Amino acid sequence: MPAVDPHRAELPVVPLRGSLDDLIAGAVAGDLERDALPPFLRRQRWFGAKARPMQAVSFIERLRLPIEVRPTFLCIVRVQYESGEPDEYLLPLAVAAGADAARLLEFSPGDVLARVANEDALIYETGGDVDTASALLAVIQQRATIEGAGGSIAGVVVDPGLLVELDPTLTIQRGRADQSNTAFFYGDRLLLKLFRRLEPGPNPEFEIGSRLTRQGFRAIPRVAGGLAFDRPEHGRTAIGVLQQLVANRGSAWDFYLQELGAIVAAPDDLRRQEASLDAARQLGVRTGEMHVALAGIAEEAFTPEPLDAARLASLLDGMAGRASAVLALLRERVDTLPPQSARQADLVLTGGEALVRRFSARPHEESFGELIRVHGDYHLGQVLRRRDEDDFVILDFEGEPARPLAERRARQSPLKDLAGMLRSFAYAGQMVLVPTGEADADRVSRLEQVIADWTRQASDRLLEGYREATTGAAFLPGSPDTFRWLLDRSMLDKAFYELAYELNSRPDWTRIPLSYLAGEAR
């Protein structure tokens, strides 16, 4: 092998017991579990528990893929921590030898877990491997089953039309924006998303996407199929979803940042403003149609439930508890915030008790609508603009990734999704008003008013389209006043969620949720 830099030289070394073919299958499992897996997992973007001290990592399943050029396995590993519940992760592993190993060290050293002692070979993670992507596609197309020691992986077909006559020479590429998942692109036709963190039970991305595909809902990427991991004691867990690639012009977030930037540059261009507002109305229509489709799926896991007084009280109590916790966090962090955010934080903390009390008031209303399955993490970044028409495609039904699976699959008020999208409009507007040191105070004030007016109008248009698409829907509150009352509280809850996220991740962005909360606190 070629000389390596010090970082690469620190790779764990595992002994060869038997043949290279036996390495991952079990001959050196203990060595990998002890020496290689913990440091490797901590380096991965998709590993979500970097701050939790690990106690042990162990293989719970290793299933060999039908790849002739090298031994390749889909592995499930369990991570146990010093406290709390363990996690399970999907980890495709393979053995590279000779020239393949040399290339891997040169071009993808971060994928390598360990060296093989006295051998020209490496054990590596195959998340970027074209052979792995091709084999996984074949498992789905053929509805194949791969048996393991304690479970099996099965290919599932949802929409055969997306798989017929699929060109075997399609260019396969690894997605570049991987975070909690890993993506493979098959030409311009299909996308395979592998779920890295696994939880027993249906994954909402596959569950919702496949049901909406069978229902004929147009505003999503159709689901071609997927991969399922079956264990007798846990049932079926989706580990991947194969979706149609929709020709697009980027996300709705990118679209609105561009449009709002143009509006700031030319605030008197009313024609452009009107076009962006028309798009907001269309997005409202698609959002409403999504909720109608979700409420209409004839399966037990999707059947709407009445939002009665008891459920409403529980919903609002949860919002109040979250708000109180975020206010306590803000009180701890206020001295670390930038000056503008600190001034807003003082207003929020002063009016905090009144904000929390808003979750305790109840309108005099008999019908608060229903709880249904929802998107759960709905914002402009989860929507694409179609390439050839002024329309939208809705993505990513996994829900908020940090929440447990049971919460992500729970029925909720559809106004949660509406609140998320309305707050996303506000985020886009605030992003184009990032302080730039502009000396003309009158111009700054005017632009702030232009963006405020646009945000209000875009929100009104989105709600107009939504109400049109959901006319007569039983899942909405019975009166417009109650609809507005519950939506306002859903937006307040969302703003507190945003504030907690920004305090922990992006303190410079706290000004965005704080500006909304400060306005509500006055």
- Reported as a single tens digit per residue, the pLDDT across 344-380 is 999 999 999 999 999 987 777 778 999 999 999 999 9
Percent of all residues in the chain with a pLDDT value above 70, rounded to a whole number: 95
What pLDDT does residue 486 have? 95
Instruction: Provide the token pair at 444.
Output: 């700054």
Q: How far apart are CA 90 and CA 241, in angstroms?
A: 14
Q: How far apart are CA 215 and CA 210, in angstroms?
A: 9
Mean pLDDT estimate for the chain: 90
- Reported as a single tens digit per residue, the pLDDT across 155-194 is 999 999 998 767 767 788 887 765 788 899 999 899 999 9
Highest-pLDDT range among 65-74, 92-101, 343-352, 434-443 = 343-352
Cβ–Cβ under 8 Å, residues 280 and 458: yes
> For the stretch 305-317, what's the b/e string if a residue is b when 16 or more beta carbons lie within 10 angstroms of its beta carbon?
eebeeebbeebbe
Q: Where does 232-297 show beta strands of DSSP type E?
A: 235-244, 248-251
Q: β-pairing, 112-116 with 13-14?
A: parallel
Q: How far apart are CA 33 and CA 59, in angstroms?
A: 7
CATH number, domain 132-245: 3.30.200
What is the mean predicted confidence (pLDDT) over 330-353?
Answer: 94
Cβ–Cβ under 8 Å, residues 217 and 293: yes
What is the mean predicted confidence (pLDDT) over 243-257?
Answer: 95
What pLDDT does residue 18 have? 66
Instruction: State yes or no: pLDDT of 218 exceeds 50.
Output: yes
Percent of all residues in the chain with a pLDDT value above 90, rounded to a whole number: 66
What is the mean predicted confidence (pLDDT) over 25-44?
Answer: 84
Instruction: State yes or no: pLDDT of 8 exceeds 50.
Output: no
Q: How far apart are CA 166 and CA 189, in angstroms?
A: 9
What pLDDT does residue 128 have? 75
Q: How far apart are CA 254 and CA 393, in angstroms?
A: 14
Q: How far apart are CA 348 and CA 268, in angstroms?
A: 34
How does residue 381 score in pLDDT terms, banded at 50, 70 and 90? very high
| Residue 413, amino acid | S
What pLDDT does residue 3 have? 44
Residue with tokens 């004929």: 216
Question: Alpha helices, DSSP H only, in 155-251?
Answer: 204-215
What is the number of H-type helices and E-type strands within the chain?
16, 19
Cβ neighbours of residue 446 under 8 Å, at least 6 residues apart?
Answer: 267
Cβ–Cβ under 8 Å, residues 510 and 337: yes
Closest CA to 243 of 226, 261, 262, 258: 226
Instruction: Provide the token pair at 431.
Output: 């992003």
What pLDDT does residue 178 have? 57
Maximum Cα–Cα distance across the chain:
77
- Reported as a single tens digit per residue, the pLDDT across 449-496 is 999 999 999 999 999 999 999 999 999 998 999 999 999 999 999 999
Q: How far apart are CA 255 and CA 236, in angstroms?
A: 38
Instruction: Provide the token pair at 50.
Output: 């970097």
Query: Structural domain boundaries of the chain?
Result: 6-126, 132-245, 249-521
Query: 249-521 adopts what CATH topology?
Result: Aminoglycoside 3'-phosphotransferase; Chain: A, domain 2 (3.90.1200)
Cβ–Cβ under 8 Å, residues 404 and 199: yes
Q: Give the least confident one: 128-132, 142-146, 323-327.
A: 128-132
Highest-pLDDT range among 174-183, 384-393, 444-453 = 384-393
How does residue 437 score in pLDDT terms, banded at 50, 70 and 90? low
Instruction: State yes or no: pLDDT of 521 exceeds 80.
Output: yes
Residue 266 backbone class (left: φ over 0; alpha: ψ -120 to 50; beta: rest): beta
What pLDDT does residue 1 have? 41
What pLDDT does residue 149 have? 87
Q: How far apart are CA 464 and CA 459, in angstroms?
A: 9
Q: Give the least confident one: 262-276, 339-353, 487-501.
A: 262-276
How does residue 5 score in pLDDT terms, banded at 50, 70 and 90? very low
Residue with tokens 């709600």: 463
Q: How far apart are CA 84 and CA 90, in angstroms?
A: 20
- Could you give the dihedral angle defined by the CA atoms of residues 3, 4, 10 and 13, in that order, rounded to the nearest 10 degrees? -50
Q: Where does 419-505 show beta strands of DSSP type E?
A: none
**Can you say whether the dihedral through the CA atoms of 251, 400, 74, 59 is positive or negative?**
positive
How does residue 45 score in pLDDT terms, banded at 50, 70 and 90? confident
Q: Give the least confident one: 7-11, 23-27, 195-199, 295-299.
A: 7-11
Q: How far apart are CA 270 and CA 260, in angstroms?
A: 12
Read off φ and ψ for residue 108, nearest 5 degrees: -140, 55
Instruction: State yes or no: pLDDT of 7 exceeds 50.
Output: no
